[in-house]
Amino acid sequence: METFKTFMSTEKNKNSDVLQQETIHWSSYTDKDLALCKKTIRHLHGRMNTSLDVKATDYDKQIVLADIKYGGIYRPRDCKQKDSVAIVIPYRDRIEHLNILINHLHAMLQRQKLYYGIYVVEMSLPVQFNRGLLANAGFMTAQSIGTYSCYIIHDVDLLPLNDFNEYKCSPNNPKHLVTKNSKFKNDALPYTDYIGGVLALTTEQYYRVNGFSNLYFGWGGEDDDMHLRIKARNFTIVRNAEHIGVYLALPHNGDSSNPPNPYRDLLLQQGAYRMNVEGLSSISYIRKSLEFRQLYTWVLIDCVESEIMSHYSNLRISGKDYIKKNKIRTHSKHYVKNSNLHVASKLRVNRPSRLLRRQIVRRT
Ligand code: UDP
Ligand code: MN
């Protein structure tokens, strides 16, 4: 019998839909006698329809809820998968997208007969959003809960439209699962080396590249930095045929707590030099919460931007300068905290969404 590790959280369970202490027993799955799952197209639909009107309480009828363990972990009953996949979703304040994606993914991944778990990794306010750091924190958390062999870092606003797009890693190289994305002109990827959106790495590949950089606070750069790491380790990027990796991008505005990072080009210039010492091996964060929700595991992460940046004195701008030059963005954080509209208009920062404002009020 296989047992997932037991997890404890310090917070009390306030919600009956949430388990905060969980031991997952697969006793009903004595898979000794099961044959390996075959790649079969019998269960697949090809191009899928998708519902964009999903609320947390609506479950897609195709989801076999009974078979999903708390924390969003699933495994087929009628065959054995030797690989297990953790889907890691960096997240903040996009609940409508999250509901749509989670429902859509469970339906598709079950049809693909995968053994998988879904991890939503949220960045606590008021820190600037940091997709790379969240991916690393998700990797570490998922690894400490299960024994996954493949990690798929997944944007919350991208829906796979063809279920032949198998959510598995490629053994020899990282795999970019996106071949077409409706947010780009003609759905075409903006450049060959683009690996944004949905990226699959085996555990070994993730360690080889030392994960994502943790230094990209705000929007942009972390995926190009990952590409530099992949190249530096002599990996190439593999993709499916063009008609397979088709994604629908859900529309959204810019996020006030994720403004474009003005230092991303500078950080990128030195990205490959830093990769041995900066990334998974150097990550520092606080896990404020961990909940095994019905359809996914939710992790809340906090970190201190100035502390993370100040370790990198060999950045061309020193950590201290970075913080000084970063004043504008620090101000924008104050804005988010204080709802100071005057400063906001001067800095051209978007007004935070209603949901975000409510959260801010609650937290300050
Ligand atoms: N993200 C989020 N909340 C934010 C900013 C980013 O959840 O406030 C996550 C989400 O998974 C999103 C991804 O980070 O899909 C990439 O950010 P964004 O969608 O803003 O980038 P773009 O659409 O420009 O690639
Ligand atoms: Mn997006």
- DSSP characters for 157-173? TEEE-BTTS-----SSS
Instruction: Name 87's Cβ contacts closer than 8 Å, sequence gap at least 6.
Output: 105, 109, 116, 117, 118, 119, 152, 154, 167
Question: Do 45 and 163 form a contact (C-beta atoms < 8 A)?
Answer: yes
The verdict on 112 and 236 lying in the same domain is yes
The verdict on 280 and 320 lying in the same domain is no
Stretch 348-358: mean pLDDT: 39
| Nearest-atom index, ligand 1, CA of 254 | 20
Cα 299 from Cα 73, distance rounded (Å): 15
Which one of 274, 303, 332 terminates a domain? 303
In this prediction, residue 173 carries a pLDDT of 98
In this prediction, residue 361 carries a pLDDT of 36
The verdict on 343 and 298 lying in the same domain is no
Q: Does residue 243 surpass a pLDDT of 60?
A: yes
The verdict on 91 and 205 lying in the same domain is yes
| Nearest-atom index, ligand 1, CA of 183 | 23
185, with CB counted inside 10 A (0-12, 13-18, 19+), is exposed
State the distance from the centre of ligand 1 to the C-alpha of 131, rounded, in angstroms.
8
Task: For residue 269, give both structure tokens.
Answer: 């210039």
- Lining ligand 1 with CB less than 6 A are 89-94, 129, 131, 155-157, 196, 219, 255, 257-258
Is residue 30 domain-resident? no
Q: Does residue 363 surpass a pLDDT of 70?
A: no
Q: Does residue 314 surpass a pLDDT of 70?
A: no
Confidence of residue 269 (pLDDT cuts 50, 70, 90): confident
The CATH number for 18's domain is 3.90.550.10
The verdict on 214 and 341 lying in the same domain is no
In this prediction, residue 41 carries a pLDDT of 61
* Between residues 182 and 46, the one the model is more confident about: 182
Is residue 29 domain-resident? no
Cα 67 from Cα 73, distance rounded (Å): 9
Stretch 280-294: mean pLDDT: 94
State the distance from the centre of ligand 2 to the C-alpha of 30, rounded, in angstroms.
41
In this prediction, residue 256 carries a pLDDT of 74
The verdict on 80 and 187 lying in the same domain is yes
In this prediction, residue 245 carries a pLDDT of 97
**pLDDT over 90 percentage in the chain:** 57
Domain count across the chain: 2
* Helix (H/G/I), strand (E/B), else coil: 208: helix
Name the pairing type of β-strands 158-160 and 180-181.
Answer: unpaired
Q: Does residue 343 surpass a pLDDT of 70?
A: no
State the distance from the centre of ligand 1 to the C-alpha of 223, rounded, in angstroms.
12
The verdict on 324 and 282 lying in the same domain is no
Q: How far is CA 77 from CA 36, 169, 257, 296, in A?
A: 11, 22, 42, 19
The verdict on 259 and 339 lying in the same domain is no
Buried b (16+ CB within 10 A) or exposed e, 261-272: bebbeebbebbe
In this prediction, residue 270 carries a pLDDT of 82
Question: Do 245 and 163 form a contact (C-beta atoms < 8 A)?
Answer: no
Q: Which of 97, 226, 258, when mutated, tests ligand 1's pocket best, judged by the most ligand atoms within 8 Å of its CB?
A: 258
Q: Which ligand ends up closest to the CA of 248?
A: 2
* Between residues 69 and 327, the one the model is more confident about: 69
Which one of 272, 303, 334 terminates a domain? 303
Which one of 251, 281, 303 terminates a domain? 303
Q: Poorest-confidence range of 53-57, 81-85, 129-133?
A: 53-57
Q: Poorest-confidence range of 150-154, 203-207, 279-283?
A: 279-283
Q: Does residue 208 surpass a pLDDT of 90?
A: yes
State the distance from the centre of ligand 1 to the C-alpha of 155, rounded, in angstroms.
6
Confidence of residue 258 (pLDDT cuts 50, 70, 90): confident
Instruction: Name 347's Cβ contacts closer than 8 Å, sequence gap at least 6.
Output: 328, 331, 332, 335
Cα within 13 Å of Cα(5), Cβ side: 10
Q: Poorest-confidence range of 56-65, 79-88, 155-164?
A: 56-65
Q: Does residue 185 surpass a pLDDT of 70?
A: yes
Q: What pLDDT, in 10s, does the model give residues 188-197? A: 999 999 999 9
The verdict on 109 and 132 lying in the same domain is yes
Q: How far separated are the first and last CA of the chain, in Å rounded?
A: 47
* Between residues 314 and 351, the one the model is more confident about: 314
Mean pLDDT (the chain, rounded)? 80
In this prediction, residue 334 carries a pLDDT of 31
Which backbone phi and psi does 95 adopt, to 5 degrees?
A: -65, -35
Sign of the alpha-carbon dihedral angle for 50, 54, 58, 63: positive
Q: How many residues does the chain have?
A: 364
Q: Which ligand ends up closest to the CA of 128?
A: 1
- Whole-model pTM: value is 0.82
The verdict on 238 and 326 lying in the same domain is no
Q: Does residue 213 surpass a pLDDT of 80?
A: yes
**Domain ranges, residue 179:** 2-22+40-303
Confidence of residue 307 (pLDDT cuts 50, 70, 90): confident
Q: Poorest-confidence range of 84-98, 127-141, 297-311?
A: 297-311
Cα within 13 Å of Cα(244), Cβ side: 11
In this prediction, residue 1 carries a pLDDT of 36
State the distance from the centre of ligand 2 to the C-alpha of 252, rounded, in angstroms.
7
The verdict on 219 and 138 lying in the same domain is yes
**pLDDT over 70 percentage in the chain:** 71
Name the pairing type of β-strands 246-249 and 158-160.
Answer: antiparallel
Name the pairing type of β-strands 150-154 and 85-91.
Answer: parallel
Of 289-293, 328-332, 353-357, highest mean pLDDT: 289-293
The verdict on 192 and 239 lying in the same domain is yes
**Apex CA 217: angle with CA 298 and CA 127, to 5°?**
60
In this prediction, residue 169 carries a pLDDT of 98
Stretch 236-240: mean pLDDT: 98
Is residue 309 domain-resident? no
| Nearest-atom index, ligand 1, CA of 154 | 11
Q: Poorest-confidence range of 51-60, 164-173, 201-210?
A: 51-60
Which backbone phi and psi does 121 adopt, to 5 degrees?
A: -115, 110
